[in-house]
Amino acid sequence: MKQFAKILGVALFAAGLGAQAQTTLNVVTAGDQNMVDYVTNYLGPKFEAMNPGVKVRAVGTGPGDSGSQKIYEKLSAQQKANVKDWDVDVAVIHQRGAATMVKENLLAPYRKDVAAGKLTTRETATNALGTNVDGYVIPMFHSQIALAYMPDLVKAPPKNYSELTAWTKQYPKQFGYNGVKGGMSGVGFVMGWVAANGADVNKLEKGPYDASQKAAIDKALGDLKEFNKNVVLTPGNAGTLDMLNRGEIAMGPVWVDMFYTWQADGRMSPKVKLAMLQPGLPGQPMYYVVPKNAAHAELAKKFIDLAASPEVQADGIVKQFNWYPGIDPQYVQAKLDPAVWNKLFTDISPGDLSKYGRPFPLSEYFTDIMEAYERVVNK
């Protein structure tokens, strides 16, 4: 907490040195360094050009839920201290962070005031791990787990988990995933497996939490232990892609953006394709939010409106990072070259993404599944 305050304080002090008449918009983002770079090098300059006298300052709090936790701690401290104008104008956070901040009244319900807010209808714009966040968030982008496969070896990819199980028996050690310790593509596969094999998917995703689901979770993971006898456990997200590219496995779950980045960099064969499993595989958004007492709330809304516009979603989110757009894809298509659109949506259509792109389970179920995997699968 102190370190975060120090980082933000230094950024604000530096901003004040060079421009007394300048308004500084503070954008604080969880996630990897590329999130900070995106604001600093791309979004910020665009917004500044449209709003003379405004300087955008980006501060990063680190990857994963811990990055969002630092933002939560900062806002919560200002709320408890009755600070009138909070020094975070825009925050970019994970689902779990958004759920917590909405529950604790730390965010403003700004979406209705932003034109781009009407362009997102996917469930993730209203539901964050079982918490109603409708009005408080606009997705920056969606990351998605999908099944990558080599068409030369997999003529017809499995459509669901039952077909996948049968395929692994016919072709043992040709499917690989990274368990639950080597990266979130493997974790997502396990979450999808549990939802497809006996647990109540509506409760997992929307709640309320019901401890009696633990029996169904254990049963599903017992079946997964059998499934694992015919598969390869890869060393991580990158390890799955590496093994696919080398032909050591023919199929495995991957992050879509990471997959396309590897293909664009020449690290992955252009032959490899993607597919979704029914009833779905998890994905997750990052959210733009406005703190309840942001010092520059109206500027923050203008910034998010630009960031979530079809033009910026096309040029920044899709073309630069190979992420799926945060707003509904049909609004972005006209802003993209057909070749770029086809690359992102040929294998998995927007309809498939909407239908089979599932959220991760509620945090309580997430913990139950992770603990049960160690107890049931790894014992």
pLDDT in tens, 314-370: 999 999 888 999 999 999 999 999 999 988 898 999 889 889 998 899 989 999 999
**pLDDT at residue 63, rounded to an integer:** 84
pLDDT of residue 95 exceeding 70: yes
Name the phi and psi angles at 11, rounded to 5: -60, -40
pLDDT of residue 2 exceeding 70: no
Q: What is the pLDDT of residues 182-221, one digit of tens each?
A: 788 999 999 999 999 988 999 998 889 999 999 999 999 9
Quote the CA–CA distance of 263 and 207 in Å, as a whole number: 38
pLDDT of residue 14 exceeding 80: no
For residue 21, what are the contacts with CB-CB under 8 A and spacing of at least 6?
53
Angle, helices 64-80 vs 2-18, to 10°: value is 80
- Give the mean pLDDT of the chain: 92
Task: Band the pLDDT of 17: cuts 50, 70, 90.
Answer: very low
Q: What is the pLDDT of residues 339-353, one digit of tens each?
A: 999 888 989 998 898
For residue 105, what are the contacts with CB-CB under 8 A and spacing of at least 6?
79, 292
pLDDT of residue 13 exceeding 50: no
pTM, to two decimals: 0.83
- For tokens 């389970």, name the residue: 361
Query: If you average pLDDT over residues 41-63, what whole number do you get?
Result: 96
CB atoms within 10 A of CB 200: 14
DSSP state of 323: P
**pLDDT at residue 130, rounded to an integer:** 85
**pLDDT at residue 183, rounded to an integer:** 85
Task: Band the pLDDT of 15: cuts 50, 70, 90.
Answer: very low
pLDDT of residue 163 exceeding 90: yes
Quote the CA–CA distance of 160 and 153 in Å, as a whole number: 18
Q: What is the pLDDT of residues 172-184, one digit of tens each?
A: 999 999 999 878 8
Amino acid symbol at 345:
F
Direct distance between the N- and C-terminal alpha carbons of the chain, in angstroms, rounded to an integer: 38
